[in-house]
Chains A and B, each alone.
Chain A
Amino acid sequence: MAASEAKGTDKTVVLEVFRYRPEEEEEPTFQRYEVPYFEDWVVLDALNHIKDEIDGTLTFRWSCRMGVCGSCGMMVNGDPKLTCAAFIRDYHPATIRVEPLNYFPVIRDLVINMEDFLEKLTEVKAWLVPQEEKPVSEGEYRQTPAELAQYKQFSMCINCMLCYSACPVYGQDSDFIGPAAIALAQRYNLDSRDGATEERAEVIFSHEGIWECTFVGDCTRVCPKNVDPAGAIQQAKVSATKDWYHSVLVPWGKRDVKSR
């Protein structure tokens, strides 16, 4: 253990890592690795130590190792976590069980297939559709700080998918649009520059959209960026309900889509 000798630790921690190599085995297995323990190590450091020093065949995704890229999400002792933010000192001396994110198909070891989530982002049009296109010469689309504040929290999403792995509704029915995609749809619906609320409505204000959510609230608990997807969904339910009553009671009235 070169790293432990260099840094001088005699403590170790055991990781029980989910392994699935489709060309070798039908069923997933768990493999135990003993790695050196350091106060400042996160689970991702331990996994990288395994990959570099013990077993180069272990496969997992990671990139920024600072909670920004959203690619190192895994189940740590059954809870969805960014492994770059999960300190092993919080688990030590217990064994740490590392598994791929819940409710997604596993491609290999800790790598999941995120195709379903990417499709959902496209379905909800998780991007800005300007109310009116204007040439660059007319300058930028301006916004007041108060208008920015309306959606800023929801714009912090890093697409790490921890919220999907926390959501029992998504676990039961993968057609559910899910926490992050709905929060991002809200992010653009609430943006004063955006004009596609009506286009998103069919997907978002449907059964597979907001109405399938039973408000377990675990998505908000696990979110590493405090996006509060559960709040976004409940707020969308209120706007959709208000909008429906408005269309029934004042059918001749002009609907203010931005008030959603």
Chain B
Amino acid sequence: MPSNWWLKRKSYFMFMVRELTCLFVGGYALFLLILASRIGDADGFSALLQHRLVIVLQVIALPMVLYHTVTWLNLTPKVLVIWRGESRVSPVLIAAVHYFAWFVVSVIILWMVSMYR
């Protein structure tokens, strides 16, 4: 197969985009570790966050991570199959529960951030 196989069909291309966004998920986890390592050093901590390059990277990483999360959550009903007697629990409901959990976790984090501002 030619190395540009993933350019030949839209579904292949979208798959590659989904796979590539995981680099940003991993990259952002690394960034959080670096931040955590400066937790005792308030000046270094805010200097890193205010660095122009870091801001640019955050702006790029945000849509990538959001795309990764949305495609991931949309795929959960394919993997998670729950039976209620003869019928399958609706795939929409399974995805919705995940979105709701994501929302709840986000609200908790925002609340924590607002507490320590």
Contacts and interface: CB of A to CB of B under 8 A. Distances in A.
Interface residues of B, number: 19
Contacts of A234: 75, 78-79
B78 A228 contact: yes
A235 B15 contact: no
Contacts of B85: 146
A168 B12 contact: yes
Interface in B58-117: 75, 78-81, 83, 85-88
Contact of A217 (B11, B80, B81, B83): B11
Contact of B83 (A149, A214, A216, A221): A149
Contacts of A220: 78
B86 A235 contact: no
B51 interface: no
A172 B77 CA distance: 28
Interface string B24-52: 00000000000000000000000000000
Contact of B9 (A145, A150, A218): A218
Secondary structure of the A contact surface, majority rule: helix
Contacts of A238: 79-80
A42 to B, nearest CB: 22
Contacts of B78: 217, 220, 228, 230-231, 234-235
B83 A78 contact: no
Given A78-B9, A216-B11, A172 B1 contact: yes
24 contacts: A78-B8, A78-B9, A146-B86, A149-B83, A149-B86, A149-B87, A168-B1, A172-B1, A214-B19, A216-B11, A217-B11, A217-B15, A218-B9, A218-B11, A218-B12, A218-B15, A220-B78, A228-B78, A231-B78, A231-B81, A235-B78, A235-B79, A235-B81, A238-B79
Interface of B: 1, 5-6, 8-9, 11-12, 15, 19, 75, 78-81, 83, 85-88
Interface of A: 78-79, 145-146, 148-150, 168, 171-172, 214-218, 220-221, 228, 230-231, 234-235, 237-238
The list of the 10 closest CB pairs from A to B, nearest first, reads: A231-B78, A234-B79, A216-B15, A149-B86, A218-B11, A171-B1, A146-B86, A145-B86, A146-B85, A172-B1
